[in-house]
Copies of this chain bind each other. A is one copy, B any other.
Amino acid sequence: MQTEPLGLHHVFERAEAVFADREVTGREPGGVRGLDYAELFAGARGLAEDLEGLGLRPGDRVATYAWNTLDHMRAYIAIPGAGMVMHTVNIRLGADEVAYTLAHAGDRAVLVDGALWESWSAVDLPDTVEHVLVMGEAPDLPAVQGGAAVHRLETRPVPERRGWWRPRDENEAVGICYTSGTTGRPKAVVYSHRSVYLHALTLCGTDAFAIGHHDVVLPVVPMFHANAWNLPYAGLVAGAGLAFPGRHLDPLGLTGFIRDSRATFAAGVPTVWAAVVRALHEGRAPGDALATMDRIVIGGSSAPESLLDALTGLGIRPVHAWGMTECSPVGLVASEPCTPDGAVRSAARRTQGRPLPGLAVRSSAEGREAARDGAAVGELEISGPFVVDHYHAPEKDDSASFTASPDGRRWLRTGDMVTVDARGYVTLVDRAKDMVKSGGEWISSVDLENRLAAHPRVNETAVIAVPDEVWGERPVAVLSSTDGEPLDPDELRSFLGAQIPRWQLPDRFVVVDEVPKTGVGKFDKKRMRAEYGHGR
């Protein structure tokens, strides 16, 4: 058999040869703009030539700092298409952390979204950066930023097709993402042509995301976070329509763009969809806004049952998924088991899911694999061709993040405490560091959060462990209400008390305007522990 390297060159060339008239939509400052694959790729080719014109060469690292835009998508093609390595900088990081990742990656150039110029200009650029290229509308720009020349980029279509960069070795680096570490510096995960190709192809599978040519894929999850779950490349493999919402991720902006782009498939974190559902229920968004939507993938953190039910009620199939930057990023998808038992099917949909083709999972407790009985709790470990092998140039020894099997397989330790059942469904019990150990017994903060989320007046909730002299640790719930009015702790206590043992009830219910979140929209438990973890 041919040993043709797996890689994005193939995805790009096939997309141009086969899907030239498929549509791509973007919400831009002037309104919604549409173009086809032929125009998208022509623009990407112009961008690739612009980068080469600045002296950038294959292997050079080129960063992006942008919302989900057509310009960003062009960069997703142009950078790897020119053989360079794309570093998608998380715009939610602080300026010093951005500078750290730019220096760590050794970026020679950065493509900056003009709409983000203000936060970008606060970054103290490391010496590696020679060029800053500003995309889209932007304010007056300086000629230089630190030691880098600042250029204004225009879209310059080059319609004549020629081959995209074909890696000699499919394990060649194609992208870098940094994990949003809750402790220490962000860690670098380097994707290869092979891993991106395999992951994108796998996402198109029927029981994965089933992305097809007739879909219109709308990544709500940011392109600066784990490459928007690899949806841009999976979309190109399928020849799907693509829709880029820009910065308009509020419920009204999003529902309006879903209607304009006729999106059939979207993916994002639970909080985004909870807000959309609320806006629909309250009549703030038009009732038919999601009429074209077929399925919505929810991941990034565990989705409350109530959200899954609400989407189902809207005629949308919710797909629960689990991933992390280290897994390219999607690892588990909660597709339904083939059984006539509706309760079993429904329960399976609410788990984190089972491993995608290519991946193996196990749960480890005290150095052994825990039973696959849906009850034994262990740390989730994962292995496969699109799982990280090692962090790139880690700040400190990363060997504790991996274990090895005698057969040579390498396993990533995910830090998630889970059960695994006989059908391979993984259920998240907690992040290892978020488990509450009270009087020697574990309390799952995820379980408490899911139960509280089902309360009609609870908007968002996070449960944290706080030190306790008697019990070691005790749970505390931080909550916001749907209507901004106060919540009654006694009422919440009796709501929960009807469902779980008394000793598992949170000691306190802290009601806040908004539950604190990290740069990528996850609950910031570190900050909450610091803020609400002491005294009463």
Chain A contacts with B in 327-359, Cβ cutoff 8 A: 328, 335-339, 354-355, 357-359
A238 proximity list for chain B (CB < 8 A): 205-207
Chain A contacts with B in 204-243, Cβ cutoff 8 A: 204-207, 210-214, 237-239, 241
A389 in contact with B20 (CB, 8 Å): no
B337 in contact with A213 (CB, 8 Å): yes
A93 proximity list for chain B (CB < 8 A): none
B212 in contact with A207 (CB, 8 Å): yes
- Among B3, B201, B357, B407, the residue within 8 A (CB) of A166 is B407
Scoring A10, A166, A192, A336 by chain B CB atoms within 10 A of each residue's CB, the highest score goes to A10
- Among B214, B339, B359, B384, the residue within 8 A (CB) of A338 is B214
A163 proximity list for chain B (CB < 8 A): 407
Chain B, Cβ-Cβ closest to A23:
B338
- Among B3, B190, B212, B384, the residue within 8 A (CB) of A206 is B212
B354 in contact with A385 (CB, 8 Å): no
When chains A and B are docked, how far (Å) is the Cα of A184 from the Cα of B223?
Answer: 55
Chain A contacts with B in 151-182, Cβ cutoff 8 A: 163, 166, 171
The answer, yes or no, to whether A22 is at the interface (CB within 8 Å) is yes
Chain A contacts with B in 455-470, Cβ cutoff 8 A: none
B213 in contact with A1 (CB, 8 Å): no
The answer, yes or no, to whether A301 is at the interface (CB within 8 Å) is no
Q: Specify how many copies of this chain sit in the oligomer.
A: 2
When chains A and B are docked, how far (Å) is the Cα of A26 from the Cα of B126?
Answer: 66
Majority-rule SS of A interface residues: loop
The answer, yes or no, to whether A202 is at the interface (CB within 8 Å) is yes
**Given A1-B386, A1-B389, A206-B210, A14 contacting B407 (CB threshold 8 A):** no
**Given A21-B423, A204-B206, A2 contacting B387 (CB threshold 8 A):** yes
The answer, yes or no, to whether A310 is at the interface (CB within 8 Å) is no
A338 in contact with B2 (CB, 8 Å): no
B1 in contact with A387 (CB, 8 Å): yes
Scoring A14, A166, A192, A383 by chain B CB atoms within 10 A of each residue's CB, the highest score goes to A14
- Among B191, B336, B407, the residue within 8 A (CB) of A1 is B191
The answer, yes or no, to whether A388 is at the interface (CB within 8 Å) is yes
B22 in contact with A338 (CB, 8 Å): yes
A385 in contact with B3 (CB, 8 Å): yes
Scoring A191, A214, A336 by chain B CB atoms within 10 A of each residue's CB, the highest score goes to A214
The answer, yes or no, to whether A18 is at the interface (CB within 8 Å) is yes
The answer, yes or no, to whether A396 is at the interface (CB within 8 Å) is no
B212 in contact with A423 (CB, 8 Å): no
When chains A and B are docked, how far (Å) is the Cα of A132 from the Cα of B252?
Answer: 70
A214 proximity list for chain B (CB < 8 A): 336, 338
The answer, yes or no, to whether A409 is at the interface (CB within 8 Å) is yes
The answer, yes or no, to whether A6 is at the interface (CB within 8 Å) is yes
The answer, yes or no, to whether A74 is at the interface (CB within 8 Å) is no
A474 CB to closest chain B CB (Å) equals 37
A210 proximity list for chain B (CB < 8 A): 206, 210
Chain B, Cβ-Cβ closest to A361:
B17
**Given A22-B338, A213-B337, A423-B20, A1 contacting B205 (CB threshold 8 A):** no
Known: A2-B410, A14-B359, A17-B372. 8 other contacts (CB 8 A): A1-B195, A3-B385, A4-B387, A14-B357, A20-B422, A163-B407, A205-B205, A206-B211
Leading 8 A-B pairs by shortest Cβ distance: A206-B212, A18-B424, A1-B195, A2-B389, A204-B205, A4-B385, A1-B192, A206-B210
- Report A's interface with B, CB cutoff 8 A: 1-4, 6, 10-11, 13-14, 17-22, 163, 166, 171, 190-192, 194-195, 198, 201-202, 204-207, 210-214, 237-239, 241, 328, 335-339, 354-355, 357-360, 372, 383-389, 407-410, 422-424
23 of the cross-chain contacts (CB-CB < 8 Å) are A1-B192, A1-B385, A2-B383, A2-B384, A2-B386, A2-B388, A2-B389, A4-B409, A6-B385, A10-B384, A17-B372, A18-B355, A19-B424, A21-B339, A201-B358, A204-B207, A206-B210, A206-B211, A206-B212, A206-B213, A213-B335, A237-B357, A239-B338
